[in-house]
Amino acid sequence: MKHLITIVGPTAIGKTALSIALAQHFKCEIISCDSRQFFKEMTIGTAVPNQQELESATHHFIQNKSIFENYTVGDYEKEALEKLEELFQNNDFAILIGGSGLYVDAILKGFDEFPEINPEIRSQVNSNYEKLGIEYLQQQLRNLDPDYYQKITLENPQTLQNPQRMMRFVEVCIGTQKPYSSFLNQKKNNRNFTPILIGLEAERQIIYDRINQRVDIMMNEGLLEEAKTLYPNKALNALQTVGYRELFSYFDEDFSLPFAIEEIKKNTRRFSKRQLTWFKRNENTKWFDYATPKSEIISYIQSKI
């Protein structure tokens, strides 16, 4: 039996340290599932594991892509499953770690299948978005699939600001004459491993304090300079990310630097709440306080094998 030990939880909760401890105990390798740590140009603002951490266990999907590549969650699903198949040939365990709920779901459950969409429809939706902005896409989805629009609003509101994903929802609705949500949950994808889900959590104020401290550390480590090098490419999808967007607004002279830093902290705190909402949906996850001894978590995993 192959087991994929999956570690989830809000940002800054300690997932990296736990993943390394588990990788060393089970003598296995780590698959990163953080949708921003894929990009080699983004280091400080995405809290990529440091050199010592990377050397403590073998990691995959860390800074393996460029922000200039069009890398989708579907691409990640395909590549990560191929890597897992390779790892499971020599080991009964692997570790999946990350705070990107959609990407975790892609590995554990897979995606639904959608019909091919006429490229002319895609082009028209894109053209309308360029003329009318994100509000056009939001209104279209609200009209064409009100149930899914409501679900996103409640569970993952930042998606409403993501033009790539919103264009996809709208083009499917228009191209198929059916709601996007009608194609969801149609089938179960078979996986050749059994997931063991571990969640890390803490009291809200502890999470917020850890986030605030992490942002201060990032600024001290050079996040402002890193953002400055990325600023000319600020329109890229990969850079629509907390920690960079706010500093771009500082460079645009819309924010003062102290205000931009406070915005990073505030938006990261909001993001952590959404992460917890997403991950708490899965009833199979065993939640531990972030300060739980790692030996206790290892004992739980061994009881599930």
pLDDT tens, residue by residue, 209-225: 999 999 999 999 999 99
Amino acid sitting at position 227: A
Q: Is 176 annotated as a binding residue?
A: no
Q: Is 174 annotated as a binding residue?
A: no
Q: Is 277 annotated as a binding residue?
A: no
Whole-number Å distance between alpha carbons of 39 and 238: 8
Give the count of alpha carbons within 13 A of 7, CB side only.
Answer: 30
Whole-number Å distance between alpha carbons of 163 and 20: 35
Residue pair 191/2 in contact (Cβ under 8 Å)? The answer is no
Alpha-carbon torsion, ordered 12, 16, 110, 141, to 10 deg: 20
Strand partners, 95: 5, 30
Query: pLDDT tens-digit profile of 140-167?
Result: 999 999 999 999 998 888 899 989 899 9
Residue pair 157/189 in contact (Cβ under 8 Å)? The answer is no
Q: Is 229 annotated as a binding residue?
A: no
For residue 12, the model assigns a pLDDT of: 94
Q: Is 10 annotated as a binding residue?
A: yes
| 3-class secondary structure, 39 | strand
DSSP-derived secondary structure letter, 161: G
DSSP-derived secondary structure letter, 69: S
In order of their start, the domains of the chain are 3-111+189-304 (3.40.50.300), 119-183 (1.10.20)
Percentage above 70 pLDDT, the chain: 98
Q: Is 12 annotated as a binding residue?
A: yes
User: Does residue 2 surpass a pLDDT of 90?
Assistant: yes
| pLDDT band per the 50, 70, 90 thresholds, residue 6 | very high
| 3-class secondary structure, 85 | helix
User: Does residue 46 surpass a pLDDT of 70?
Assistant: yes
Look at 20-24, 29-33, 153-157 and tell me which has the smallest mean pLDDT.
Answer: 153-157
Query: pLDDT tens-digit profile of 110-141?
Result: 877 777 888 899 899 999 999 999 999 999 99
Q: Is 11 annotated as a binding residue?
A: yes
Whole-number Å distance between alpha carbons of 271 and 198: 20
| pLDDT band per the 50, 70, 90 thresholds, residue 187 | low
For residue 219, the model assigns a pLDDT of: 98
